Amino acid sequence: MKLSKRILAGVFALTTALSVAACGKDSSSAESSSIPIHELNEDQVSKIDKFAETLPEVNLSNKTVKWLSHYNINPTNGQNKSADIYIFEEKYGGKLEWVQSTWDTRYDDLAKLVMAKNSPDMFPADDMDTFPMGAIRGMFQPVDDYIDFDADIWKNTKDAADAFYFNGGHYVAVINVQPNYACIYNTACIEEAALDDPAELFAEGKWNWNTFEEMCIDFTDADNEKYALDGYWYGNAISETCGVPLIGLKDGKIVQNLSDPAIENIQNRMYELQKNGVVFPRSENDWKPRGGDGNGFGLATKQTLFYPMGLWGIEADPENTKNYGNVADGEIMFVPMPTNPDDDTYYVSARVHGFNLCKGAPNPEGFAAYVMVQKYCAESEEINQIGYDQLRDNYKWTDDMIEMRKTLYKMAAEHPVFDFQNGVSPDIKTTMQDVSQASMISGGNQITWTECRETYEKGLQYYIDKENKNIVTDPTAES
């Protein structure tokens, strides 16, 4: 099999594109990704070609795998094909058929198809909003009959898959664990403000809540429109560094952790930090970050110190990262979110890149074959190196950025914090939108964590109890 030159860098780049498409954009195609796909050179194509020949042989009686999502997993409008899709097509004769939906209607569409016994096969789990809701409502089924998590290729994500286990089965085929957030900053801004470089503090083991808070307070100058934090995600990004999710799973049941001492500790610190007005006042800007639509505004102009968000924001061509700074000049850099100085474990808010198997899927064997290809690609050093080369050559990332990315992914895999606040029910998701920003909301509207609990905890528990009643606790029961 000779692979076409119109291939992108395997799962590495594919999952990057998925992360962008999965970040709440209301879109009906893969065009929701702002990341262009760059053509590979002959040497890179040759490496992918040789790699494909090493994969196991699988004979599929049904070649078509139906993919339901708000974006098309296949390339469109001249985009290059990912290595895993190309291998799936050429080596196994497979085809990924897009069942078109939208961000707002994807679950309704899935439920209708399942009820009509016309289910698709595959659904993306990357948004951390499919579990346990999709299992409780009978939209997904366990993958265990088709994926052996004890097999060598799956062993390194078995622990992560176990986080999506109840009622006797695993509900997500986990390809890898990814960091939810990075603390993105502009190096020229750090230098101009005469602050310590976070990357150097991290290397010295000094990047923690204390140094983070000091820098935020020192930098903030509301009179000159300088704010330490901006974006939509700083609340959850900071809170989850304590190692405890606001909404988790324990013994097969959904739990809320608002009274957990670790949560109370970090939330109290967040409240005290925001008393210094370190957050850009979204309440004065139609509840949007600086610049309105788009992300990263304020970093390049040195008005924002830190922008906590996913790496997808800077995994793009320089033209699309100008808000953050001049990447080619080394202005864009990032570190993990800071850690608790009194804890020996460095926790990382995490998500999984993986797939759900739809209830009544007509082709679960095809599903298993495709996710197997993705998994093999994800574990290949050569395939991943092609992705790193594209970050350096096409996106103009520095070696320091690439090495920090590797470090952050490694840390996320070692000590992930999975929060299920978006994956249980619409009522819980809506409640948690208020809870997660209560301590640091801008405009003088912040409340103490004690007030937050008094306001939301009882109602939240009501919604959780309601969902827990629908969970079957007998592992031998039919899923």
Tens of each residue's pLDDT in the chain, 479 residues: 444 333 433 334 443 333 333 344 333 222 233 344 567 778 888 888 899 999 999 999 999 999 999 999 888 776 777 889 988 998 999 999 999 999 999 999 999 999 999 999 999 999 999 999 999 999 999 999 999 999 999 999 999 999 999 888 999 999 999 999 999 999 999 999 999 999 999 999 999 999 999 999 999 999 999 999 999 999 999 999 999 999 999 988 999 999 999 999 999 999 999 999 999 999 888 889 999 888 999 999 999 999 999 999 999 999 999 999 999 999 999 999 999 999 999 999 999 999 999 999 999 999 999 999 999 999 999 888 888 998 999 999 999 999 999 999 999 999 999 999 999 999 999 999 999 999 998 776 899 999 999 999 999 999 999 999 987 544 334 43
Is residue 243 assigned to a domain? yes
Based on the domain organization, do 162 and 189 belong to the same domain? no
Confidence at residue 37, expressed as pLDDT on a 0 to 100 scale: 54
Is residue 451 assigned to a domain? yes
Based on the domain organization, do 237 and 342 belong to the same domain? yes
Confidence at residue 41, expressed as pLDDT on a 0 to 100 scale: 79
Based on the domain organization, do 282 and 155 belong to the same domain? no
The CATH number of the domain where 459 resides is what?
Answer: 3.40.190.10
DSSP 359: T
Based on the domain organization, do 454 and 315 belong to the same domain? yes
Q: In the numeric block, which tokens belong to residue 390?
A: 């594209």
Is residue 108 assigned to a domain? yes
Is residue 473 assigned to a domain? no
Find the domain containing 251 and state its range. 182-347+420-468
Based on the domain organization, do 374 and 242 belong to the same domain? no
Helices 261-274 and 449-468: crossing angle in degrees, nearest 10, is 140
Is residue 397 assigned to a domain? yes
Q: Which residues of 209-243 are buried (b: 16+ CB within 10 A; e: fewer)?
A: bebbbebbeebbeeeeebbbbbbbbbbbbbbbbbb
Q: Which of 380, 399, 414 is the last residue before a domain boundary?
A: 414
φ, ψ at 211 (rounded to 5°)? -70, -35
Name every residue whose Cβ is closer than 8 Å to that of residue 134 and which is 6 or more positions away in sequence: 107, 110, 123, 140, 171, 356, 423
Please report, to the nearest 10 degrees, the dihedral formed by the alpha carbons of residues 428, 258, 272, 412 taken in order.
-80
Confidence at residue 47, expressed as pLDDT on a 0 to 100 scale: 86
Based on the domain organization, do 338 and 364 belong to the same domain? no
Based on the domain organization, do 117 and 187 belong to the same domain? no
Based on the domain organization, do 174 and 186 belong to the same domain? no
Is residue 477 assigned to a domain? no
Is residue 77 assigned to a domain? yes
Confidence at residue 472, expressed as pLDDT on a 0 to 100 scale: 58
Based on the domain organization, do 84 and 166 belong to the same domain? yes
Based on the domain organization, do 221 and 308 belong to the same domain? yes
Name every residue whose Cβ is closer than 8 Å to that of residue 344 and which is 6 or more positions away in sequence: none
Confidence at residue 49, expressed as pLDDT on a 0 to 100 scale: 86
Confidence at residue 78, expressed as pLDDT on a 0 to 100 scale: 66
Total tally of structural domains belonging to the chain:
2
Is residue 474 assigned to a domain? no
Based on the domain organization, do 242 and 363 belong to the same domain? no
CA 415-421-424 angle, to 5 degrees, is 120
Based on the domain organization, do 304 and 341 belong to the same domain? yes
Closest CA to 66 of 90, 100, 109: 100
